[in-house]
Amino acid sequence: MSLIKPRTRGKQFVRLVTRLERETNETLYAYAQFLGEPAEYVLNELIDTVLAKDKEFVAWRAEHAQSFVPRRPPRIRKRAGARDATRTSPHVERDLSSTAAT
């Protein structure tokens, strides 16, 4: 009998990029294969299962319900087709030089 509970629907997911020890990674994927579930599901359930057993943490978390997720600075994205303000188009340069000659 596995320790991981059956999958539930309707949960929100966030992306987390991390590193695992090689053997832990192998074990994670082996257990995921054993359950027939994706590795991300196994990780979520392992974290929930292990932390639920830590009564001291459960009590502390009840008193500290705020988010502890570090905030990242907002990403600055360029719009598609937007030009770099430091570059000028050859057409603009030609137009400016023809205007200066008159």
Per-residue pLDDT tens digits for 43-96: 999 999 999 999 999 999 999 999 998 888 888 888 777 665 555 555 555 555
Per-residue pLDDT tens digits for 35-46: 999 999 999 999
Q: How many CB atoms lie within 10 A of CB 43?
A: 16
- For the chain, the domains span 20-64
- What is the C-alpha separation between 32 and 56, in angstroms, rounded? 29
Q: What is the structure's pLDDT at 9?
A: 74
pLDDT value at 12 more than 60? yes
In a 13 Å sphere around the CA of 18, the CA atoms on its Cβ side amount to 10
10 Å CB burial of residue 45 (0-12, 13-18, 19+) is buried
